[in-house]
Chain A
């Protein structure tokens, strides 16, 4: 029974969403050294989208997301599998972690990071798939 919410919730959701998403990205990127990581960050992002959904409805969420949550799951799995491959290229066993330093910005890229982003997308996608599916049937019930 999710309807576009009150004014306060409505405004709050719009303001909070970017903050929450930035926080989730922050958790994702620092996860290797400090508490955080793909799973936690994914849950935070999913929570953020869920708040937006409660405030503004399913249609607004899918218009903002542009991609279906199920596609996010697929992309996440693809990234997860992709992270297994670079080791082959340098002749090391399947899934051995590879580390590269990107010179100009001195950023450490690695297959674990790619893999973690995959985890992130799968978590966000899965939770949102479940939530939007539930909301969808709710709204169909309402229309009757």
Chain B
């Protein structure tokens, strides 16, 4: 499986090549990847259904306890199945939606990479691995949301989504680190068994806060919900995929996965159920203010995510069953509805539901699919959405904390969602036909197949919810603390309170739909209030960040080398000085046994340094520096370090070559600094030079620490197979450091090249620009 996921990334990279071979049929070919993964998962269904937990071991970085082990239980299986099945359908759909699009190969690369990241996320057993895949989904979804990169709004939305989710990701990383410390393991399978230990640990509260921040930002919970509707700037297949079954569900998945480990405490229950309920109501409330069909659906997704979080917060056995049923129902109908929205957009050229009408005559099949999916969204029988909503109401009635408030919020969300469903399914298809920018036709089969299949599944599972019993049971076993709960889903539970709540929400919802135009006009008056919502906070934060960055750049990087040096040296003096004087005690025993030739070399060095400072000509200063450099090389020779000596000599030689090249380009020698500044520079220089000398003496005097060079000397030949210790250290013992330095060197070279190159180009451009004509007389 790991090979399949990692290989999936390779397939993603090969998309342009495949496109070269298969042309417009490439998406169909690529859909074979998720389809075969789904088949593989299906083959493991019997084992998963019987409550077995598959652990596919794979060591990655054993030294750091990081594994690429995959864990497949009911929860992971359900998510992986949704990701692969809906992924395959979305690929087929996008083949039609983006037919002939110039950037189709790029789209396929990114969406396949996203799919694999998502799959890795839900299957990972190791916290670090999970985090890596988590961040990969953030980055790939950034590329997907900003797919229309020539559109400023799309770029802004993509960046916003990235900042919010990656900001949360940072918190999540801290949370994972604390989780691993508290639970003494990086493996989710082990952590979920150590719930008791974790919940009583001193780190529980901070780690919970961090993990929740990560999950809430990813799953667009209030007050981070604003990025999700903005992400609708993406092409519709992306929205259908990211916002039905995948990206935004990642946060919910994480909460479900950690439920046995962290759930059940007061903090967990109150935070999740309140934030979830608030998100539900906010999403539904904001949804009905929009006429753009994708925004309507996006806000109703926010509502659904809130509902899922709330159910995890309530956390009773019934709530967990409701969680799974609602999750499945939402993935099916929302995937279908987004694809229908894409069809409408594609066929009519507009996304505004108020600009469409009477489309059922020209696109009857689309209308049928939309109708079924919307019935499920509305939570009406006989669809799976109804089962989910009934269970949701029943769980809310079981809530232990803040029950009346949660019930009120959930009820509001339910009836507003019903209105949204009516708007999406009725408005475009019924009423008088309207002129649209494009003359609509029935959608091609490739576009209808996906939503039709999803709608059919919603209907089938709605009519026979018993089919889902084993799946829901296996999944709940993964979330709940007790394993193997007996689950029975049913369409009809008799006349009870949830049913009455459903009837009331139906009546209110239809009322809201009838007076939608009026309602929207009324709500538009709240605009000034909305403008001060969380999104304004985000904007202010970003603006503040930029101004702080500008300020510190002006302060620290003002383009004058002297300033850079002063800042760098003072930081060095501060840190080293603090460590030396306050953290350690040291004794100096200065044995003045210096040979005559050593003293001569040292004298040369000092003379060179002083001369370089006081010379009144650049060439003379360079020569003085050269004297110093060669004396240093001589020192290396005297203390038998031939490698260092050779390097020093070569560097000195190359310095001369570089100087030859730049010397005549430099401005005339001039004294730019005032005497005060020179005094300051003298002070900084003496301070840092003195401190480093002191540090060296202190290191040499104390023999407290075992010398690392002893290890190097002893092991260079047996372990590194080399007699030259310096080289063995560079390319073997400390090769990772060297690799880093290679990248630094490469970056420096590219920087030099770019600076000289663009400077020259700018110079040319200035010269070649025609002299400006005076037209002001």
Contacts and interface: CB of A to CB of B under 8 A. Distances in A.
Interface string A110-139: 101101101100110111011101111110
B693 interface: no
A34 to B, nearest CB: 6
B404 to A, nearest CB: 56
Contacts of A97: 720-721, 732, 735
Interface stretch (A6-14, A37-45, A59-67): A37-45
Nearest to B64: A93
A36 B727 contact: yes
B632 to A, nearest CB: 16
B642 A137 contact: no
A81 B654 CA distance: 27
B760 A32 contact: no
A123 B646 contact: no
A76 B746 contact: yes
Contacts of B750: 70, 73, 129
A90 B34 CA distance: 30
B650 A115 contact: no
Contacts of B753: 70, 129-130, 133
A1 interface: yes
A125 B720 CA distance: 27
Given A32-B722, A43-B647, A138-B661, A37 B731 contact: yes
A82 B750 CA distance: 21
Contacts of B746: 73-74, 76-77, 122, 125-126
Interface string B470-499: 000000000000000000000000000000
Interface residues of A, number: 58
B748 interface: yes
Contact of B756 (A31, A91, A134): A134
Nearest to B757: A133
Given A70-B750, A115-B738, A33 B724 contact: yes
A46 interface: yes
Contact of A134 (B661, B732, B738, B745): B661
Contacts of B749: 69-70, 73, 125-127, 129-130
B726 A43 contact: no
B661 A77 contact: no
Given A37-B731, A133-B756, A93 B63 contact: yes
Contacts, number: 151
Nearest to B650: A43
B730 A118 contact: no
A137 B731 contact: no
A108 B720 CA distance: 13
Contacts of B658: 130-131, 134
A81 B730 contact: no
Contacts of A134: 658, 661-662, 756
Contacts of B99: none
B61 interface: yes
A106 interface: no
A130 B759 CA distance: 14
B745 A123 contact: yes
A99 interface: yes
B182 interface: no
A74 to B, nearest CB: 8
Contacts of B731: 32, 37-38, 112-113, 115-116, 119
Contacts of A131: 657-658, 661
B670 to A, nearest CB: 22
Contacts of A38: 730-731
B736 interface: yes
Contact of B654 (A43, A112, A136): A43
B742 A119 contact: yes
A122 B742 contact: yes
B756 A80 contact: no
Chain B CB count within 10 A is highest, among A2, A97, A118, A140, for A97
A34 B721 contact: no
A58 B638 CA distance: 39
Interface string B53-77: 0000001011100000000000000
Interface string A3-36: 0000000000000000000000000000111111
B736 A112 contact: no
B743 interface: yes
Contact of B760 (A36, A99, A137): A137
Contacts of A136: 756-757, 760
Interface centre among A69, A70, A77, A119 (most CB of B within 10 A): A119
B243 to A, nearest CB: 37
Interface string B746-772: 101110110011011000100100000
Identify which of B723, B730, B742 gathers the most chain A CB atoms within 10 Å of its CB.
B742
Max chain B C-beta neighbours (<10 A), residue from A76, A130, A136: A130
Contact of B720 (A69, A77, A112): A112
Q: Is chain B's interface secondary structure helix, strand, loop, or mixed overall?
A: helix
B669 interface: no
Contact of A31 (B727, B735, B736, B757): B727
B739 interface: yes
Interface string A70-102: 100110110011011000000101110101000
A55 interface: no
A116 B723 CA distance: 15
B643 interface: yes
Given A34-B724, A129-B752, A137 B654 contact: no
B759 A32 contact: no
Contacts of A76: 742, 746
Given A37-B726, A40-B643, A80 B657 contact: no
Contacts of A91: 59
A46 B650 CA distance: 10
A104 to B, nearest CB: 20
Contacts of B724: 31-37
Nearest to B730: A37
Contacts of B660: 54
B661 A2 contact: yes
B759 A137 contact: yes
Contacts of B727: 31-32, 36-37, 116
B728 interface: yes
Interface string B415-451: 0000000000000000000000000000000000000
A43 B61 CA distance: 35
Given A47-B650, A77-B742, A95 B661 contact: no
Contacts of A31: 724, 727
A39 B723 contact: no
Contacts of B759: 137
B679 interface: no
Contacts of A81: 739
Contacts of B732: 97, 112
Contacts of A127: 654, 749
B651 interface: yes
A71 to B, nearest CB: 11
B653 interface: yes
Nearest to B662: A134
A134 to B, nearest CB: 4
B723 A34 contact: yes
A33 B742 contact: no
B721 to A, nearest CB: 6
A35 B643 contact: yes
A40 B664 contact: no
Given A31-B724, A118-B742, 19 more contacts: A32-B723, A32-B728, A33-B722, A33-B724, A35-B642, A38-B731, A43-B654, A47-B653, A47-B657, A54-B660, A81-B739, A93-B61, A94-B61, A108-B721, A116-B730, A116-B731, A131-B658, A133-B756, A134-B661
Interface of B: 59, 61-63, 642-643, 646-647, 650-651, 653-654, 657-658, 660-662, 664-665, 720-724, 726-728, 730-732, 735-736, 738-739, 742-743, 745-746, 748-750, 752-753, 756-757, 759-760, 764, 767
7 contacts: A35-B643, A36-B643, A43-B651, A47-B654, A115-B739, A126-B745, A134-B756
